[in-house]
Amino acid sequence: MSKSESRHFDSASKEFGHRSDVFSGVMPAVPLAVVEEILLNLPAHQVVRVCRLVCPEWKELVDSAAHWRERCRREGIQPCDASRPPKNWCQFYFITKKRRNLIKNPAADDEFQGWEILENGGNGWEIENNRKPFPDNTVTKCFTTSCWLCLKQQLIDLEKEGYNAAFMDQLQPHIKISDWYAPCQDCGSEYNINVELLDDQMKQISDFQPEVVVFEWPNKEPWCQTTHVFKNYGPGVRFIRFTHGGKDTRFWAGNYGIRITNSSVEICPAAEI
C-alpha cells in the first residue's frame, strides 16, 4: 500500500472511530442486508481495513464467508472446480485478484528484455517465429538455443510484486510455474529447468529441478509443457529464481537446439490448482 493510501485509510479509520457511537445508535434501525449491500459496493481493501473496524455487526459481516462468496460471484471470480469450494473465500478473492504472470517478457515479444543470459554457448540465444503450431495462437515467438549450453534467468522480487512478507509467511499461497518447450525437428536437443524459492539472503528454501529432457533426432514432437506447484514451503520466501535453457545434441552450428516460450510464475489460490 502506498503512503498516500496509508494516510487515506488512517484518516478514514479515525473518522469511523470518532463516529462509532453514532453508528452504534443507528445500526439497529438499518437492516443488515442493506449494510451488506453497501459494503459489497465498496472497494474490498477498504472494507477490510476500515469498515470492518466500525462495530461488531460490520465486523461479522466482513468476516463471513457469504460476503466474499457473493463478492466473487458479482465479479465473476469462481473456482475452476465448483465441487471444490475454497476453504477461505476472503483469501481466495484477494489472491485471485492479484494473480498474474510474474515472468517479464515470457514469449520473446521484447527480445531478451527482463532476462539475464547466464550461458550463451555456440551461436548463442536467438529469437524466431514459432515453426510449430502453439496451443495459444497469440504466442508467435520463441527463444532458441544453440550447440552448446544456453541458459537464461529471471529473479522475481515478491515484495516489489506486491506480495509482502506477512502475506507470504501467513498464507503461504501456492506458487505455480509453467514452461513450454519443443525440439527442432531437424536435430536432437536437451531441455532443462530449475526454479528456486529463496529467502531474503538468497538461500534456497525449496526448488523444482526435474531431470533433463532429451529429444532424439529425427523427431516430430509438438510443444510440451512442464508445470509444478510449490505448496507448504514454510515461511521466509522472498524471491523466486527461474532458470531454464538447453542445447542441441549434434553440435551443429546455428540454432538447432531446444525452443522455449510462454514461461510463467503465478501466485495462486489453492482452489485453482
- Concatenating the DSSP letter of every residue in 232-248 gives S--S---EEEEEEEEEE
pLDDT tens across the length of the chain (273 residues): 444 444 443 444 444 344 444 444 444 567 888 888 989 999 998 998 888 888 888 899 999 999 999 999 999 888 877 778 888 899 899 999 889 999 999 999 999 999 999 999 999 999 999 989 999 999 999 999 999 999 999 999 999 999 999 999 988 999 999 999 999 888 899 999 999 999 999 999 999 999 999 998 888 889 999 999 999 999 999 999 999 999 999 888 889 999 999 999 999 987 555
CATH no. of 116-272: 2.60.120.260
**Residue spans in the chain of domains classed CATH 1.20.1280.50:** 3-98
**Residue 39 — φ and ψ, nearest 5°?**
-60, -40
Within 8 A by CB and 6+ apart from 97, the residues are 44, 77
Give span(s): CATH 2.60.120.260, the chain.
116-272
Spatial CA neighbour of 268 closest among 96, 29, 125: 96
Q: Domain 3-98 adopts which CATH fold?
A: Monooxygenase (1.20.1280)
Burial class of residue 2, CB neighbours in 10 A (0-12, 13-18, 19+):
exposed
Place of cell 485453482: 272
pTM: 0.80
Cβ neighbours around 171 below 10 Å, total: 16
